[in-house]
Chains A and B, each alone.
Chain A
Amino acid sequence: MMPILDIHAHYGVWQFPTQARNVDALDTYLQRFGIEKACFSSVEALTCNFVSGNARLFKDIEGHDRFLGYCTVNPNYVDESIAEMKKYMSKSRCFGLKVHSGYSQRPVNSAPMREILNASRRYGKPVLAHTWSPTDCAAIAEAAAEFATLKFIMGHMGGNDWRPALEAVEEILNVFLDPCCSYAERDKIREALDAVGPKRVVFGSDLMLLNPAFVAGMVVGSDLPERDKERILYTNAKEAFGL
C-alpha cells in the first residue's frame, strides 16, 4: 500500500460505537493505514462550540507529528470566527480552514461566510468545505470563483449526488475534489479525474466517521494507472498544499 496524505479527518466524539477516542488511538490507525499525515477538524467545533473545540484540538495534537489541525469557523459568529483565525491560522500545525454548511446552516457563499473567507485570504491556507448536495456544490463554485486566490477542497464531492459536483467545478481550477463518502459507487473516482484531471483529486478519509481503508479502496479499486492513484493518495496534496 502506497503512503497516504489525508486532508479530511475528524478529532473528537461521534455518537456511534468505536474503540478509538484519543490521539494515541488515532495515531495507531494512521500507522495501520499508512497515513503519513492527517488533517483533523474538531467534532466538537463542528457540531457544537467551535471555540472550545478548536482549543482542545490544537492542544491535544501538539507534539504529534502525523497530526495537523483545521481551524473551524462558524458563520453565525463572524467576529468570533475571525478571532479564531487569528489564534490558529498562522500556526505551522494549522493546515487550513474548515467550514460546514450543514451544522451552521449557512452556505459557503452566504454573506457572513464570504466575510470570513475574505479575512482568511491573508493566511493563504486551504479551505475544506463540507458538501452534501448540488446546492452546496454550486455554493462552493461561486465562492471559489470570487476568492480565486484561495484553494478550496470540496469535502465529500457532493455526497451521494456527486455528479453535479463535477459539473460545478470542472472549470474552476482552485477547487479540489475529496470523494470520501459512505457511498462507494464504482467509477466515481475515474469520473472525477475525467472531469477535473489527475491533479485536482485528493484523499480524505473522513476518519473517525469512516474507515480509511474503505475510502482508499475506492482509489485502489479504480480503473486508473498506478501513477494517478499515487497522485490522489499522496502527491496531489503534497504539491498543492505543501503537506
Chain B
Amino acid sequence: MANGTPIIDAHTLFGFWPSRKADLRPETLVALMKKNGIAKSLVVSATGILYDFLRGNDEALAFGRQSTDVFPLGTVDPKRHVGCAEEIDKRAEQGFKLFSFYPQHQGWPLDFLPFQKLLDKLAEKKLATMVYCGEPGAATLLARMSKGGASVILSGVSYGNLGEVLAVMKDHAQFMVESHMLNTPDGFEVLCGEVGAHRVVFGSLSPLKYLNSALMPLKAATLTDEEKAKILSGNIRRILSGEA
C-alpha cells in the first residue's frame, strides 16, 4: 500500500454499543488492525461518547497505555458544560492531541454555546478537533464558528455534503476531512484535486463500521503514492506532532 506506508487510522472506537449488537472489544480492534495492516489507531471510548466522557477518556488512556499501537482520542459532551474545559486541560496534560465530538449521538446542535467555548479552547491550546458534520449545513456552520488556530477535522463527509465541504475547505485552511464515509466513486480524487491531499486523513470508525469500506476506496483511488501516503499517515502524524 503506497510503497509500504504504515497506516494510521485516525478514527476508531471501542466499548459497548447499545443500538445494535456489535463486537467493539479492544482485542477485536487490535485483531482487525493486524489483519488489515493498520500500524496505529486513534481510539475513542463508546462509554465516553454515549455515557460519561470522564470515564470514557480514562478507558481510552488505559487502552493507549496497554497497547503501543493505540493513541487515545479524547471526547467531551458539551451538554454537561461544567467541567468540560477542565477535562480538556487534564487530558492535554496526559498527551491527548485530538478531541472528537458526536452531536449526532448526544443530541445537541452545532450552534451551541457550550460547544463554541470548547472549540475556542481547543484552538487556543493548538489541539485538533474532529466533529461529525454529516448533515448539509453543518460544515458551513462550523466554518462560521471556527476561529482557526488548530486543525478542525470533519467526519461524516459523504456524497450529500461533499460540495459544501469543498467550499468550506477552500475558505478555511484549518479544515480537513476524515474519510470513513467518503464514499463517492472519485471522492478522494475530487478532494485532492480541489484542496490537496494534505487535507485528508484516513479513518474507518471500525470495528463499528467495516474497515474495508473505508480502506478499499482509498486503495483503488487514482492518486499518487505520495498523496496516498499523506492520507494514510502523514497528515495525522503531523497533527499528532502538534503542527497545525
Q: What is A's interface to B at a CB cutoff of 8 Å?
A: 14-20, 29, 32-33, 163, 182-187, 207-218, 220-222
Contacts and interface: CB of A to CB of B under 8 A. Distances in A.
Given A208-B185, A211-B183, A217-B217, 15 more contacts: A15-B163, A16-B163, A17-B162, A17-B194, A184-B210, A185-B20, A187-B21, A208-B184, A210-B159, A210-B185, A212-B185, A213-B216, A213-B219, A214-B183, A218-B212
30 contacts: A16-B160, A16-B162, A17-B163, A17-B194, A18-B186, A18-B190, A19-B186, A20-B186, A29-B185, A182-B183, A184-B214, A185-B22, A185-B209, A185-B210, A186-B208, A186-B210, A186-B211, A187-B21, A187-B22, A207-B185, A208-B184, A211-B186, A211-B187, A211-B220, A214-B183, A214-B214, A218-B212, A218-B213, A221-B212, A221-B213
A85 B186 CA distance: 33
B170 to A, nearest CB: 12
Nearest to A210: B183
A208 to B, nearest CB: 6
A211 B183 CA distance: 5
Contacts of A185: 20, 22, 208-210
A220 B216 CA distance: 9
Nearest to B164: A16
Contacts of B183: 182, 210-211, 214
Task: Assign chain B's interface to a size class.
Answer: 20 to 34
Contacts of B206: 186
A18 B190 CA distance: 7
Given A182-B158, A214-B216, A214-B217, A18 B210 contact: no
B213 A214 contact: yes
Nearest to A214: B183
B72 interface: no
Nearest to A29: B185
Q: Which of B21, B160, B207, B213 has the most CB of A within 10 A?
A: B213
A32 B187 CA distance: 15
Contact of B184 (A186, A187, A210, A218): A210
A221 B211 contact: yes
B207 A186 contact: yes
Nearest to A186: B210
A211 B188 CA distance: 10
A171 to B, nearest CB: 22
A141 to B, nearest CB: 21
Contacts of B159: 14, 16, 182, 209-210
B182 to A, nearest CB: 8
